[in-house]
Amino acid sequence: MCDIETKSQFGECKDCMTGIDKISRLVNWDDFSVFLAISKTGSISKAAVLMGRTQPTISKRIENLEARLGTPLFTRTPSGMVATEIGKAMLTHASAMNRSAASMERMANGYDKAKTGDVFVRCLDGLITDWLMPRLANLQEKHEGLNLSFYTQNTSGLTTENEPDLAVQFNTTKPMDFVARQLGTLHYVPMVSRGYKEKNGIPRRMEDAVNYHLMYLRRSGLVVDTWEKKSSALRALATPSLSANSCAVLLSAVLNGAGISMLPTYMAKLHPELIMFDYGVVYSYNFWLVRAPHTARLARVNTVADWMTDVFSPTDQPWFQQDYIRPSEFSDMEIIRPH
């Protein structure tokens, strides 16, 4: 506790200020951003590119930090920088410092009522390309001052300056004070192009898929662990002819007749020329909008969050509803029930 006698003439607690002085002599906060950059990239040269600095500067900063702490944070190897045990232990705390620094900076400018400025969004790549981008022009027409930056779930090396304001993801994993709200549900079913069907025929049973070109989505950044658990039965039938951690890659492969893959049912609306195989197999995943608490005070972030909530609304878009709706109820897609 601070009492009157321990306060300086300026009102600061002398004991508290002494503690802060000790910390400031030991740690340069900016050095920890260098530590984080090296941890994320595994390389001093890549960290330099990420931070827009020179390689010697990055090397000197991490050496100074290690000298002040009195312990090595990385082992230098031919393949790159490998965190030591103490380095690994410090990574969680350094990440928390990074978030706190970003939060304090944003809090200082937090009472921003203008619907203009930068908004950073991290989202599942398929939803960005298939759903958000075709609807972006409408948002821009209404709010010309918004500057949007989108990152896919595979993005690495996000820094304090471009930490997402909003994230759309398949799980609710988040810092404790962040808020998650369900946007909708994606339902994945087997789809194939008409050209592939005409050339290769169709598997009459799920077990027959071993004789066809199966393609599947690998687990990636924001994709839940249960994706691989649910798809394990399908993958156990055959070695996939293609695997990717990008929904856009799989869609392109299917559209161009490369094989069979699980795709979200909204594809029936976007690409009714595709064919769905009704094996009774549906993988369903809720997807969530996650945001930091400070963004509630930012009108520009609220504007984008409201727009995303609207474009993913399950009310008038049955493919995003919690319960699975057959594509035949909202599209002309051909559905084949193999026997």
CATH number at residue 102: 1.10.10.10
Inter-axis angle of helices 55-69 and 44-51, nearest 10? 110
146 plus 15 within the same structural domain: no
Q: What is the pLDDT of residue 231?
A: 54
pLDDT in tens, 99-148: 777 666 666 654 566 787 889 999 988 999 999 999 999 999 999 889 99
Here the contacts of 334-338 (C-beta below 8 Å, separation 24 or greater) are 334/194, 334/275, 334/276, 335/275, 335/276, 335/278, 336/202, 336/275, 336/276, 336/277, 336/278, 337/278, 338/202, 338/203, 338/204, 338/205, 338/208, 338/277, 338/278, 338/279
- The answer to which of 23-37, 71-85, 181-195, 226-240 has the lowest mean pLDDT is 226-240
Domains of the chain: total: 2
Residues 56 and 162 in one domain: no
Percent share of the chain, pLDDT over 70: 78
User: Domain residues for 174?
Assistant: 117-339
146/209 same-domain check: yes
Domain identity same for 232 and 258: yes
Round to whole Å and give the CA distance between 213 and 228. Answer: 18
CB–CB of 80/42 below 8 Å? Answer: yes
**168 and 280 housed in the same domain:** yes
**Residues 162 and 244 both lie in one domain:** yes
Q: Which residues contact 5 (CB under 8 A, 6 or more apart)?
A: none
Mean pLDDT of the chain: 81
Closest by CA position to 186, among listed 329, 335, 333, 323: 323
Tell whether 198 and 309 lie within a shared domain.
Answer: yes
Q: How far, in Å, CA of 58 to CA of 309, rounded?
A: 41
Cα 337 to Cα 339: distance, rounded to the nearest angstrom: 7
Last residue of a domain, one of 85, 108, 131: 108
Instruction: Examine the domain organization and report whether 171 and 258 are in the same domain.
Output: yes
Q: What is the C-alpha to C-alpha distance for residues 310 and 131, in angstroms, rounded to an integer?
A: 12
Q: Average pLDDT, stretch 213-221? A: 68
CATH code, 252: 3.40.190.290
307-332 residue pLDDT tens: 999 999 999 899 999 999 999 999 99
Global pTM reads 0.65
Tell me, yes or no, whether 166 and 294 share the same domain: yes
Residues 199-223, buried b or exposed e (16+ Cβ, 10 A)? Answer: eeebbeebeebeebbbbbbeebbbb
191-207 pLDDT per residue, tens? 999 999 999 888 877 66
User: Tens digit of pLDDT for each residue in 222-233?
Assistant: 344 444 555 555
Q: Are residues 279 and 148 in the same domain?
A: yes
Question: What are the pLDDT digits (tens) for 253-308?
Answer: 999 999 999 999 999 999 999 999 998 889 999 999 999 888 888 899 999 999 99
